[in-house]
Chains A and B, each alone.
Chain A
Amino acid sequence: MSSLSPPGKKLWWKEPIHRSELIWISLVFVWGLVMTFMMPYWHVVGKQNLGTETYKSTAEQFQASTEAFVEQYTVRTEGPRNFPVVAPPAGGDVYLISRLWDWWPILQLKKGETYRFHLSSLDWQHGFSLQPANINIQVVPGYEHVFNLTPTETGEYSVICNEYCGIGHHLMIGKIYVVD
C-alpha cells in the first residue's frame, strides 16, 4: 500500500499523526502567525507603508492637474527634450505623469521633506521603479494613486519603467533630484 494505492487502513483519518509531523506543523503554524503579525506591526512602527488613497481619474483630468503643477513650480528645463524640472514646496503635492514612453516632468525634491505624490498613467500600465532607492509601484491608467514619499538621501535618482509597455518600454526613464 503505497501512495499509488488506496490507503491500507480504511479509517485513515482516525490514525494518529506522527510526532515528527506534529512538531513541524506546530513550528510552521507559529511561523505563519509571526509573519502575519509582521505586516500590521510594520504599519505601526515601520516607515515604509505604501498609502492606498486612490481616485478614479481620466487621462485629461490628470494631465490638466499635472500641467497646472508644472506651470506653477518649474525652475528650469533640461535634457534632450527640454523637460521642465519642477521644484514643489516642501510638504506639497507632486504630480508625475507616466505615458508612452516617458515620465513627465523631472522633479526636484528636498531631503527629509515629505511630499504628497500623485501618480497615474495616461495610456497603458506602467511601473514606477525608483532607483537606486529601489521602490517599485504599479501605475494603472484610470486611477490616481496618492501617497507620501520622503527622500532620505540627496542625489540623482532615476525613475525606470518596470511594467512592460510596448516596444518603447526600455526608453522610458525619468529623473528625480534630491537636494539639501
Chain B
Amino acid sequence: MANTTFRTCPDTGLKFNGATESLLKANAVAAVVFLLIGGFYGLLVGLTRWQAVHLLGAQDFYMVLTAHGLNVLIFWIIFFEIAILYFASSVLLGCRLATPKWAWAGFALMVIGAVMNNVVVMQGQSSVMMTSYAPMEAHPLFYLSLILFAVGALIGCFVFFGTLVVAKSEKTYEGSVPLVTFGAITAAIIAVFTIVSGAIILLPTFLWSVGLVGEIDALAYRLIWWAFGHSSQQINVAAHVSVWYAIAAILFGARPLSEKVSRTAFFMYILFLQIASAHHLLVDPGVSSNFKMFNTSYAMYLAVMASMVHGLTVPGSIEAAQRARGHRAGLFTWLRKAPWGNPVFSGMFISLVGFGFLGGITGVVMGAEQINLLVHNTLYVPGHFHATVVVGTTLTFMALTYWLVPVLFRREIILKGLAKWQPYLFGLGMSGVSLFLMGAGTLGVPRRHWDIGFAATGGVTHEFPAAAYTMLALNGMSVIVAVIGGAAFCVIIVGSLLFGKKLGDQKMDEQWIATPVTDEEYAADGGSAYAIPGTIVLAMIFFISFALYYFINWKYLAETWGIS
C-alpha cells in the first residue's frame, strides 16, 4: 500500500507519510491561492473606503467586499487549517493518514465549493456579504457552494480524527498526544460544531432560495448563523495558538510551562466559546438581557481567560527555554536574543502581541452587553477582527509557512532579505488597518458602507467629523503597506516552490528544529527559568491597558442618550 511509505526529514527528523505529504502540499498551495485573491480584493476595499480615492463604484464595492471576506476569512484560513490538522496528527504522531482517498475527496469538494463561490459572487447576483442575512437573498449556488466547501472541511476533520485512532492503535507514540496535537484536536472539535451549525442554517436557506421553503425567520437566522460564524473564528484561535506553541518548540525547543495549564486552557475553548457567539446579538430585539449577560460573561470570559492564559504561557515558555539555555540576564535578554530576523519568529511574535493588545482587548470590551450599543455594526467591528484574524491567525500561518517550505516542500526560501521584512510590513500594516478602522468606528462610521459622504441622497446628509475621513485615509495607506507585505509573502512562497533550490535528502547547514530543552537545563540555577519575570511584566502591561480601556468605554457609554 502506497500509504505506508514514509520519508524522514533529514533536518527535523519528522516522519512524513507519502499521502499526508501530498495532501499537506495541496491544501497549503490552495490556501495561498485564495489568500492572493482575497488579499487583492482587500486592497480594492481599502482604496474605496479612502474617500479621496473612492476607487470602486457602489455595486462593485459590495460585490468585492463579499468576495474579500469569503476568500480570506473562509477559504485561505480553512485550507490552511486542514493542512495543520494533518500535520498535527500524521506528522507529529509519525503515523499514516487515515483514508487518504476520503481526504482527497474532501479537498476536491472544498476546491469546487471555493471556486464556485468565487464565480457566483463575481457574477454580481450574490453581493450579500459573508453573513448573507436572510431575508436578503443570494443566488442558490452561493449557498450550495458554501455547503460543498463545508462538507469537504468536515471530511477533513474526520480524516484527522481517524488518523488519531490509527496512531493510537498502531502505537506510534507513547503517553498523551503532544500539546500541539491537543490544541489541534480542540480546533477540530470546534470545527465539527461550527460546520453542523452552518448546515442547520445554510441548508434551509438554500432550500428557501430555490423556493422549497416558504420563509426564513430573520432572528433565528442570526442566532444560528452566528453559532457558525463566530465559532469558525474560534477554530482559528485554537489553531493559531497551537501553531504558536509549535513555533516556540521549533525555534527554542520550548515545552509548555505546565502541560496541565495549557491543555486546560485549550479545553476551555470547547466548553465556552460556542455559547459566547451570542455576543453578536447584544443589540438585537427578542433576546433577553439575562441571555445576553449569561452568554457574554459566564461563557465569554471563561473563554477569554483561556486566551489570556495562552497569552502568558506561550511567551512564558519561550522565556523559560531561553533562560534555561543561558539567556538569564535582566528582564528581557531572552527576548532581545530571539531571532528577530527570522520571519518564523517575528511573524509569530507580532501576531501574539497584535492578537492580544489590538484584537483581544477590543473584542472583550465590545462584548459587554451595554458597551456594544456604542460600536455594533460600525467599522470598529472589522477593525477588531482584522487584529484577531489577520494579525492573529493569518500572520501566524504565514510564519509557519516559512518553516514548512524547506521542511515539507524541500525547497530553499528565495528572496531571504525580503522574507526577513515581510512579517513587519504585513504585521504593522495590518495593525494600522485594525487601529484606524476602530478609530473610524468609534466616531460612528458604519461598516460595509460605500459612501459616508452621502453624495447621492438628494441633500439629506450626515457630516462625520473630519477625523473620520483622516482615519479612513490612514486606513487606506495601511492597507497598501499590508498588501505589499501580503504580496511579498505570496511571491516568496510561490517563487520558492517553483524556483527555490531543491534540497533533496541533503541535510541543511541551518538547524531547522531546535533540540528540546532538557530537564537538566530547566532545573539548572534552582529552576529559576520558570520564574519568567519578563513575561510577567509584559502581561501586567497588557492587563493594565485592558482594564483602562474597559472602564474608559463605560465612561463613553455614560455620556450618550438614555436608553432603557
Contacts and interface: CB of A to CB of B under 8 A. Distances in A.
Contacts of A173: 454, 457, 460-462
Given A3-B248, A3-B255, A15-B258, A142 B289 contact: no
Nearest to A172: B457
A80 B255 contact: no
B460 A4 contact: no
Interface residues of A, number: 89
Contacts of B129: 164
Interface stretch (B152-160, B177-185, B332-340): B177-185
B489 interface: no
B374 A10 contact: no
Contacts of B539: 24
B558 A52 contact: no
A169 B450 contact: yes
Contacts of A152: 560-562
A46 to B, nearest CB: 6
Contacts, number: 310
B285 A54 contact: yes
A84 interface: no
Interface string B454-473: 10111111101100000000
Interface in A58-106: 79-81
Task: Name the interface size band of chain B.
Answer: 35 or more
Nearest to A120: B285
Interface stretch (B112-120, B217-225, B387-395, B491-499): B217-225
Contact of B136 (A4, A119, A166): A166
A167 B562 contact: no
Contacts of A171: 454, 456-457
B317 interface: yes
A38 B557 CA distance: 13
B542 to A, nearest CB: 10
B286 A48 contact: no
B463 to A, nearest CB: 9
A6 B301 contact: no
Nearest to B531: A20
B554 interface: yes
Interface string A28-58: 1101100110111011001111111010000
Given A2-B249, A160-B462, A173-B460, A136 B562 contact: no
Interface in B103-137: 127, 129, 133, 135-136
A123 B176 contact: no
23 contacts: A3-B180, A3-B246, A3-B254, A4-B178, A17-B260, A18-B530, A20-B530, A24-B312, A24-B536, A28-B308, A36-B298, A38-B368, A39-B368, A48-B560, A49-B289, A124-B136, A136-B373, A145-B286, A148-B564, A152-B562, A161-B446, A164-B448, A169-B449
Interface of B: 58-59, 62, 92, 127, 129, 133, 135-136, 173-180, 217-219, 222, 245-246, 248-250, 253-261, 281, 283-289, 293, 296-298, 301-302, 304-305, 308-309, 312-313, 316-317, 364, 368-370, 372-378, 443-444, 446-452, 454, 456-462, 464-465, 513-514, 516-517, 519, 530-532, 535-536, 539, 543, 546-547, 550, 554, 557-558, 560-564
Which 9 pairs show the lowest CB-CB distances between chains A and B? A145-B285, A150-B562, A162-B446, A2-B249, A158-B462, A36-B297, A32-B301, A80-B458, A12-B259
